[in-house]
Chains A and B, each alone.
Chain A
Amino acid sequence: MARELAEMMKAGVFRALLVTFITCLLLSCSEKQSVDTVAVAKAEVPIDGAELYKQYCIACHAEGPGHPGTMRLGIRLGEDKAVLTKRTDLQAVYVKTIVRQGILLMPPFRPSEISDAELEALAEYLSTITKT
């Protein structure tokens, strides 16, 4: 295999493929894409529990495979308690403690990431989502 590749290299096949690939990328860029420069933007964090959940929690705690938090909670507490937004037993004070202190594989979140005010909103959301 290595010898075959070396021969192809000598024959310039790879170089031709590479040039084609790069050319196609460039063409795709120039033909399809805007030339605008996006204005300065701030990654603003709204004080909205549902939005905060999407921003900070959902990547690990969404329903289904591929979400390490959901997987761990399913193992530890059972599948009926695996998905945070389907829990009926979450208390706001518990949510706040876990976020600041971490648990099992979950590292804690710093006040520079989630402010105390944001944490209040997030805890309120998770402790009431199934009750509303």
Chain B
Amino acid sequence: MDLIDRELTLSQFEALPPEVVAPLCEATASDLREWSLRLLEAVVAEDPEAVRRARHSLKGLCANFGADSVMQHAGGDLRPPEARARFQDCIEATITAVLAIAAPLIPQ
């Protein structure tokens, strides 16, 4: 499974004013990290409402880039430490992939 939908991601960035590409990249990285962390905290705390909320936010974020891999990890059992580690690896890889696509569009 691809980390993100490259075509969708590119078209999303291209549809926006060039000046927002860089802030969008920063916000994307920040939101993905923040909400993945919240999800893991909610899983550890066994707080179902917080889990649901975090997953929903991640879903909204990932929809912008077709990041289905993140959602597949987020939907699985994240209680085992190795699952959490894989999830975090996936988040970082997704951020990298988004930045790689957006980088050429950032005005010099």
B is a partner of A: no
Measured CB to CB, the residues of B under 8 A from A are none
